[in-house]
Structure 1
């Protein structure tokens, strides 16, 4: 009895770690607003550099130290490809298509995480999990649905393609992380630094020079690097490798809702019936998925 309970408790703790990542990502929009004026790729480079350096400092103080960064090429391709590939596609989508519609397409990734758990990991889904994921998707759709009509005509198809690609990349990165469970989470520090370097090169190639930043912008960059673009990826790695990706995929729908509530609390928006309906549906979907067995 005691022996069988240990893996369950470990999985529960890992799933909680993944929930911590979702909570940190809820601050991404608010902190990005506070860093307004910083070009997207430059913001990505700065944020990942802060997150990578903080992670590196922690790794250096642990047993095994920097040796944990020595991983096979497949691990680096997976880590850097997932982190940089997702953010490059996501920011391209926001630049090419109306942001609300692009964000709607991007938030197909939680549903894809749930669905990919079956064929990629061989994990059963069941009606409760599928119903929970569908209810969460409906809640997310209610929240950002008013902008679907867009402004100024049809959105460029390339932008929507980039958003769909971003959702696919992040879902595959998340689910396949379990196949690389032997890669220690500490290696994420190296993946973050490599992502920062690639984003920095892309910034120099396609964006205007970085303007002088104010104290508020630098604070936002530091907080982004410490949380949504730093610690969140370490927590998500733990959750995907040792937790329940099906439940985390469903609970991920709470992120855009929580993000909107934070923006409202900061005076960046209003609490409307759509927000209330989205909160109710996402909470209901998460509860339904969490109550599923197996």
Structure 2
């Protein structure tokens, strides 16, 4: 199998799994509070990341990090998984999955906005148009297409979903200068984030029930949202970057399939009737993301 086909295969596998996690969130939240879900999912993700690094013979990468990288990864654990998933799961608890998932997808636009003050980047006119297009999609989804009435199914839920994009964007901006092994750095962040999650659960919730249903649902979230898919995506990008891999852009564009596939799973697994405004708003968000990434070719 060529590197190009391997990159495509790993990329499609990642996108397919990512497309199921919004449904998994809602199913798990039927039996678990957001903090309970996060506690269990983080535990399973730590097991998955450690197992992957052990299989790769790179588990010792954690102890080989320099002091600066160790501190950076440890501090990032407060953002991801603790703050980010606490906010995201609460948003999913308040909103239908078909609303929370597309709104969370605007994190790429948020990243561009935050890159201006934090990284000194500049926004071109097309970037401003892309931002307006994406947030128009958010309003369409949140109001079910009734833009004049501006009636939201849950305004706090929309605010939390948008807030999660800020935390996720900050995580990646602060992570840009890290020289640590990506998998090892993520594992260290989860190891340091786990005690914070446990403390918050004990203070504001209670320990999750150790029954089969909640444990299986949270295990799925931990293994596939926070663990295995990260390794699959890195592998896809590694093969794509090789001379005959076809380029990383081709694989990266597969991510645009995920939110639409996610709506299919939400309909059949969660039982939500997909509102036409959700599809229309998601189209605006995807168009905004695509416009943000578009770079016209320079003439010779």
Question: TM-score with structure 1 length normalisation?
Answer: 0.70
Cα distance between partner residues in 2 of 1:276 and 1:84: 30
The number of aligned residues is: 271
Q: Report the Cα offset of residue 274 of structure 1.
A: 1.3
Task: Label 1:142 to 1:256 Cα distance change in 2 as closer, same or farther (>3 A).
Answer: farther
Q: Report the Cα offset of residue 289 of structure 1.
A: 3.4
Cα distance between partner residues in 2 of 1:120 and 1:238: 29
Asked if the contact 1:51–1:230 (Cα under 8 Å) also holds between the matched residues in 2, the reply is yes
**1:68-147 paired onto structure 2 within 5 Å:** 68-69=62-63, 70=65, 71-91=69-89, 98-99=94-95, 103=100, 109-123=107-121, 125-146=123-144
| Match status 1:33 vs 2:26 | yes
Cα distance between partner residues in 2 of 1:256 and 1:94: 15
Task: Label 1:21 to 1:196 Cα distance change in 2 as closer, same or farther (>3 A).
Answer: farther
**CA displacement 1:91-147 (0-9 Å, x = unmatched):** 45667xx546x9598666332202223443445543334433432332333223239
**1:145-294 paired onto structure 2 within 5 Å:** 145-146=143-144, 149-150=151-152, 165-180=163-178, 182-187=179-184, 188-214=186-212, 216-232=213-229, 258-266=261-269, 268-293=271-296
Task: Label 1:94 to 1:217 Cα distance change in 2 as closer, same or farther (>3 A).
Answer: closer
Cα distance between partner residues in 1 of 2:38 and 2:291: 35
Mind listing any 5+ residue stretches in structure 1 that lack a counterpart? 1-12
Mind listing any 5+ residue stretches in structure 2 that lack a counterpart? 1-6, 242-246
Q: Name the Cα RMSD after superposition.
A: 4.4
Task: Label 1:238 to 1:145 Cα distance change in 2 as closer, same or farther (>3 A).
Answer: farther
Asked if the contact 1:51–1:229 (Cα under 8 Å) also holds between the matched residues in 2, the reply is yes
